[in-house]
Every structure is written in C-alpha cells, then in structure tokens.
Amino acid sequence: MDIATFPDLARAVQARPVKPRVAIVAANDAHTVESAVLGQRDGLIEAVLIGDDAKIRGHLEALGQDQAGYAIVPAASTEACLAEAVALVQAGAATVLMKGQLETGDMMRAILARENNLRRSPVLSVAGLYECERYPKLIALTDQAINTYPGLDEKKAILENAVGLLHGLGLARPKVAVLAAVEKVNPKMRETVDAAALKEMNQAGQITGCVVDGPLSFDLATLKEAATVKGYASEVAGDADLLIAPDLVCGNVLAKALTGFAGALTAGTVLGAAVPVVLVPRSAEASDKYYSLALAALTAAPRAPQG
C-alpha cells in the first residue's frame, strides 16, 4: 500500500483532478466551518455548507474567508439541513456526508430511512485508520462505535465494509485479523467460534478480496516477534492491515488506547451507506477531523466534473 502515513493520505486526495463534494449538515458552529475551510484550502474537498445562512457567513468572515468561494445552502432546521444533504447525495452532487451541529442519532436516522435509499450494506459500521509509531504501516480497526454485540452475519458485513474501505486506499488484498483473547477455538468463547467461522468463509470464497485469519490475539496480529515465539505460521500474524473487534466494548477500548496511551493519529468514517459519512465528535483532535475528511474524500466515488 503506497499510503503508509496520513500525510500520504492527504496527498493522494490532493492529486485527484476532481475534488469530492462534501455536504456538511448543520454547519452552524465555528469548529465545523473551520474544518471545512481547512479541507477546502488544502485541496481535499469542495465544501457545501448547509444550515443557518447568517451563522455560516459570520464564521467564514471571522476566519477571513471570501464567502463567494463556498457553496452555502440555507436551511432553518435540522430536518431541513438533512433533507438538503440527502437530496444532494441522491442527485450525485455530493459524494461525502459530514455531521455538523446536530445529534448523531438524527444523522443516522436520515441515513437509515428507507425512503432516502442511502443504505448499501445490511449493516452500518465505523472503521478507524490509525498511524502508530511502533507499527510500520497504517492499520484499520472496526467496529468501535455502532454495533454493540454483532452476530456472525453482522461481523461478516462489518468485515466486508472495512475491506472495501482498504480497497479504496489501494490495498488489493488486506490481511484481516479477527481478534479474540486466544488463538484456539473455545466453544465457551463465542468470539473465537465466530473468528474461525469468518476464516472458513474466506477460505471457501464467501468472503473475498482479502485474507482472513482468526481467532488471533492482538499481540499475535500485530507483532511478528509474538508469532515467532508462539510458533504461529500465518500470512496475517504480525502484519495485519485490519483488526476486527469482537464487540463494541473491545473495539472502543482498543481505539481509545491506541489514541490516548499510544498517541496514534486517527481518522474514521461510517461505512455501509451510499457515501462515506464523517461523524467525528466535536471533542476530537483537529487532526482527527482533518484526516477523517481526507479518508472519506479518498474513498468516495469519483464525481463528474461540473459543467
């Protein structure tokens, strides 16, 4: 994979001749508008700012921006903002959605609403991409935010969503580690049974475009030394591109350990919808928002040049 760092990720987006158009829902707060300004300034995106016209223009003015350089869609309420954003995606005029000043639940309900036709996978999931000082390449983790205790079918969909993301980053055959506490199947530990089943599906051609191994402990998935010490021969062990968490709690704890204790840079996106969805919380680091925009932009479907 040529994209080994987050700056590589940003440069890959900047090299695109046509920038993805990001519909930013309820772009009423200064923080959201600043994210849009930085993304557009650096050639990552074209921003469509949907929301309170006066507030948006005020924030742009405070940032010293020429308002004529931004597409602004006035909308007086959360419902109106969502309706405008959905219409842009349905018309092919936007290829990324980004949450602004509204509740995550409202955003998700609009994506899931049958009449909006924005759902493409049986399961929506969140995938994070991490740049860790002690790991030689970017590594992805899923799902740490949506699916609480996924069953086997849900895990299959979560895995396939994330593999599609990595394909979009140029990785043709990601190495997928399905995490558990141990490497042996134990009927009393459902995550080990599910991991083995996903590996079998991959070997049988029911999961394609990747190589899957599991159950694997975290150290075995990410440390070649651990694989050597344990005598575990695997294409994935010690070289994983994607980690599949057994449940939301494990995924969430691991994600926060990577960023909080290990100091990893991170970017994330919601997968399984018609377009990538950026749901970065307002409390996230500025780099998280910036690189999450870049990740969504790079994996979005190409948009035809506007005539």
List pLDDT tens digits, range 30-88: 988 998 999 999 999 999 999 999 999 999 999 999 999 999 999 999 999 999 999 99
Is residue 294 one of the residues assigned to a domain? yes
Taking each continuous run of H as one helix and of E as one strand, the counts in the chain are 11, 11
Q: Are residues 62 and 184 located together in one domain of the fold?
A: no
Q: Are residues 130 and 261 located together in one domain of the fold?
A: yes
Secondary structure (DSSP) of 242-267: EEE-SSHHHHHHHHHHHHHTS--EEE
Q: Are residues 234 and 255 located together in one domain of the fold?
A: yes
* Banded model confidence at residue 301, pLDDT cuts 50, 70, 90: confident
Beta bridge partners of 97: 23, 277
Q: Are residues 19 and 35 located together in one domain of the fold?
A: yes
The pLDDT score that the predictor gives to residue 104 is 87
Q: Are residues 145 and 62 located together in one domain of the fold?
A: no
Q: Are residues 129 and 244 located together in one domain of the fold?
A: yes
Q: Are residues 140 and 73 located together in one domain of the fold?
A: no
Is residue 304 one of the residues assigned to a domain? no
Is residue 1 one of the residues assigned to a domain? no
The pLDDT score that the predictor gives to residue 221 is 96
Is residue 278 one of the residues assigned to a domain? yes
Is residue 306 one of the residues assigned to a domain? no
Q: Are residues 157 and 200 located together in one domain of the fold?
A: yes
For 99, 249, 279, the CA distances from 103, given in Å and listed in that order, are 8, 22, 10
How many other β-carbons are positioned within 10 Å of the β-carbon of residue 146? 21
Q: Are residues 193 and 261 located together in one domain of the fold?
A: yes
User: For residue 123, how far is the Cα from the chain centroid?
Assistant: 14
Structural domain harbouring 95? 6-120+273-299
Provide the domain count of the chain: 2
Phi, psi of 191 (to 5 degrees): -65, -30
pLDDT at 260 exceeding the cut of 70? yes
* Residue pair 276/89 in contact by the 8 Å Cβ criterion: no
Q: Are residues 147 and 252 located together in one domain of the fold?
A: yes
Q: Are residues 150 and 249 located together in one domain of the fold?
A: yes
Q: Are residues 261 and 143 located together in one domain of the fold?
A: yes
Q: What's 180's domain CATH number?
A: 3.40.718.10
- 97-111, 217-231, 293-307: the lowest-pLDDT one: 293-307
Token readout for 29 is 């707060």
Is residue 307 one of the residues assigned to a domain? no
The pLDDT score that the predictor gives to residue 282 is 64
